[in-house]
Amino acid sequence: TDAPQPDVPADMDAAKLAAAACRRCNLCEAATQTVWGEGDTSAGLMIVGEQPGDTEDIAGRPFVGPAWQVLSALMAETGIGPVWKTNAVKHFKFQPRGKRRLHQSPDRSEIDHCRWWLDLERRFVKPQMTLALGATAAYALTGNPAPLGARRGKVETGRDGGPVLVTWHPSYLLRAKGPDAMRLRAQLRDDLATSVRMAV
């Protein structure tokens, strides 16, 4: 007999509620809570990050920490319309180190398991345009695991057929130094501007 299919939530609120009890992978065990997407459910633009960071894990909200400061500074330059912001993986993955929790990238299987939720968000928002921040989001959205170097700034086709613009993760900018940092910042700003323009 066929394996039982998971119930498909009827709307965004139902999906968020179901995700709060998610046990599709092990990340729920150490993380504080599921961090669901947030924003305008009829937005033309969806911005997808990697996973909640330390701040987001505690707040229970996506993109409220340092990565968002970078993005919102750039948005102040490009302007931005309605947006749905979310992550490829909805639990914080970390390595405890004394009192600190060091970020760890989610692996392929964790990203694959969590795609159930990302796909639901996409079905409910139906964005015109999606901005993938970093390799995890790019992989989740397109199925292509290749590194970002040759992909950044280009529009790819998502698994669901929609356009996905691949760009740097803002945390990557935070770690870059000198002229490199300036170049990466300008590229992320350009990509943000392109995605805003293509979302309308």
> Residue 56 is encoded by which pair of tokens?
């987001």
63, 98 in Cβ contact below 8 A?
A: no
Taking CB positions, which residue lies at the least distance from ligand URA?
A: 49
- Residues in the chain, overall count: 200
Which part of the chain contacts ligand URA (CB under 6 A), choosing from 22-30, 48-56, 74-82, 152-160? 48-56
Minimum distance from residue 67 beta carbon to ligand URA (Å) = 4
Q: From CA 72, how far away is CA 78, in angstroms rounded?
A: 10
Region near ligand URA per CB under 6 A, out of 8-16, 24-32, 47-55, 145-153: 47-55
Site string for ligand URA, 169-188 (x = CB under 6 A): --x-----------------
> Is residue 137 within 8 Å of 117, Cβ to Cβ?
no
- Could you tell me how many helices (H) and strands (E) the chain has, helices first? 7, 8
- Closer Cβ to ligand URA, 6 or 73, answer by number: 73
How is residue 1 written in tokens? Answer: 């007999």
Give the angle subtended at the CA of 25 by the CAs of 70 and 106, to the nearest 5°: 35
Which of these ranges, 45-53, 71-79, 146-154, 155-163, lies near ligand URA under the rule CB under 6 A?
45-53
Residues 57-96 that bind ligand URA (CB under 6 A): 62-63, 65, 67, 87
H/E element holding 183?
helix 178-198
- What residues make contact with ligand URA under the rule CB under 6 A? 49-53, 56, 62-63, 65, 67, 87, 171
